[in-house]
Amino acid sequence: MAGDKAVLLISCLDQRGIIARVSNHLYRLDCNIITSDQHTDDEDGHFFWRISFESQRLPVPEIRAELERSMDSLLPGLGLKWRLYDAARRDRMVLMVSRLPHCMSDLLSRRHVGELDADIVAVISNHPDLGPLVTPFNVPFTVIPVEKGAKAKAEETLLGELRALNADTVVLARYMQVLSGDFLRKWGKPIVNIHHSFLPAFAGARPYKQAHDRGVKLIGATAHYVTEELDAGPIIAQATTEVTHRDTVADLARKGKDIEVAVLAKAVRAHLQKRVLVHGNRTIVFD
């Protein structure tokens, strides 16, 4: 009974009948809907839909071709955007790191035990330190140093590397450099970052120091898509953990590591499963 699997993401203005029309259409194509999640934004009436389905007759590329012929006439006049992901095609993911290993090691480990639907095609760092920890996972480790005053050049090298790798997704797993707007525009594909605070509190540098100085009783971590404005992109996942007056800045960093790891893994997993849709500066994250 198992057929080809795919995920269909749809966003458009809401209207009566969208679900009936599309599910009917997929039914006629011999596709069996496995999961279906929808959301309508109360404020602007936008409709978001994620369907995972199994195609019993046609391979996914033929489903795609068919949808390209039919979707616009199926849902006309609604500003429709849609995208079909073939479950057989694994995302090509690049991790970028600096000197702190915890997020990188965690993602490599999760990939190793089959928990992430992606190939990690490279780890790129501005420092050589973490190389040995990558070795057992058989993933290439590349150092692209960022010299003072030569950031543009480093970003050019990085861009070439990412393109050569044909990467789909970049994950900044505690990469301690700010990527320029110029780089972001040229790259143009999703970049997930982990910031070690509960944004919007403590954006920018040294968030654990900021948190300690303010005397908060929780610290947080935030995974978000990178946009040109620092630490201001659409949030995918957040978590907090308790701290006390006993905790120094170093203790906050130690305790914070665990939620950074958890939040980044959750966000990356959701992203890879095409469960995250961006709507303005907010995200819809289906379960």
Region from 15-23, 71-79, 83-91, 169-177 binding a copy of itself, contact rule CB under 8 A: 15-23
Interaction with a copy of itself in 44-83: which residues (CB under 8 A)? 56
Cα Rg for the chain, rounded, in angstroms?
Answer: 21
Q: How far is the CB of 144 from a copy of itself (least distance, A)?
A: 22
Region from 59-67, 70-78, 174-182, 197-205 binding a copy of itself, contact rule CB under 8 A: 197-205
Region from 87-95, 128-136, 158-166, 179-187 binding a copy of itself, contact rule CB under 8 A: 128-136
Q: How far is the CB of 83 from a copy of itself (least distance, A)?
A: 18
Total interface residues for a copy of itself by CB under 8 A: 67
37 sits in which H/E element:
strand 31-40
CB 33 within 8 A of CB 23: yes
Q: Any idea how long the chain is? A: 287
- Residue 207 burial by Cβ neighbours in a 10 Å radius (0-12, 13-18, 19+): buried
Give the nearer residue to a copy of itself in terms of CB position, either 149 or 215: 215
Based on the residue annotation, tell me whether 251 is a catalytic residue of this protein: no
What whole-number distance in Å separates Cα of residue 238 and Cα of residue 92?
Answer: 24
CB 6 within 8 A of CB 86: yes
Side chain identity, residue 164: A
Indicate which single residue of 128, 136, 140, 160 sits in contact with a copy of itself (rule: CB under 8 A). 136
Q: Which of 231, 251, 258, 287 is catalytic?
A: 231
Q: Is 227 in the site for a copy of itself (CB under 8 A)?
A: no
Interaction with a copy of itself in 140-179: which residues (CB under 8 A)? none
* Cβ atoms < 10 Å from Cβ of 77: 9
List residues with catalytic annotation: 231
